[in-house]
Structure 1
Amino acid sequence: MSKLSFNLLVDGVPYMVKAEPFSFNDEHRYNVSFNGSETFVFAWDEETLRYAPLDEVASILPVSLEQEIANRLYEVTPSKE
């Protein structure tokens, strides 16, 4: 997979999101940044059944933005079936 770039409008705020896929232990993960932010690692979370940031620092992400990014990553991630 190649690098992704997409625009989101969340709660009236525009975001330019960049996501770079990589594999870790046969799992799809993404390095994600938005509007020039630091990079967050998103990985599949079996508990919530969606992509979610791994780092504790990710608690600074607005929940609605996190959910929109997770939805977009889910849409573009190849199925393991």
Structure 2
Amino acid sequence: MQGQTFQLLLNGVPYFVKAEPFSYNDETRFKVSYNNGDEHIFAWNTKLGQLSAIDDDAISIPDELEAAISSKLLNTTVA
């Protein structure tokens, strides 16, 4: 699995996203950054049924952006 970059436009705000997959305990996780900011770790959240940021600074990611990144990663890695 290779890293990817993509753009999202949410509520008129552009986001440039970089995502790099890595394996941790037999699970695929992603190192994600947006708009050249800090890196966040995304992992599968069974309660939400989506990838979610799990790092200490995850609270700084807007919920809508987190959901859009999760959807994009799931659509491109499963397809």
TM more than 0.5: yes
**Matched residues in 1 for 2:22 and 2:32: separation?**
11
- Alignment partners' CA distance in 1, 2:14 and 2:56: 24
Letter in 2 for 1:58: A
- Displacement of 1:56 in angstroms is 3.2
Structure 1 runs of 4+ aligned residues shifted over 3 Å read none
Provide the residue aligned with 1:37 in structure 2: 37
1:28 and 1:77 in contact (8 A); partners too: no
Calculate the TM-score normalised by the size of structure 1. Answer: 0.91
Separation in 1, partners of 2:10, 2:22:
26
TM-score (norm: length of structure 2): 0.93
Aligned residues: 79
Letter of the 1:20 counterpart: E
Please list every run of 5 or more consecutive structure 1 residues that lacks an aligned counterpart in the other structure. Answer: none
Give 1:75 deviation, angstroms: 1.0
Gaps of at least 5 residues in structure 2 are none
Q: Deviations over 1:21-71 (max 9, x none)?
A: 001011010000010110000000011110000013111111111110010
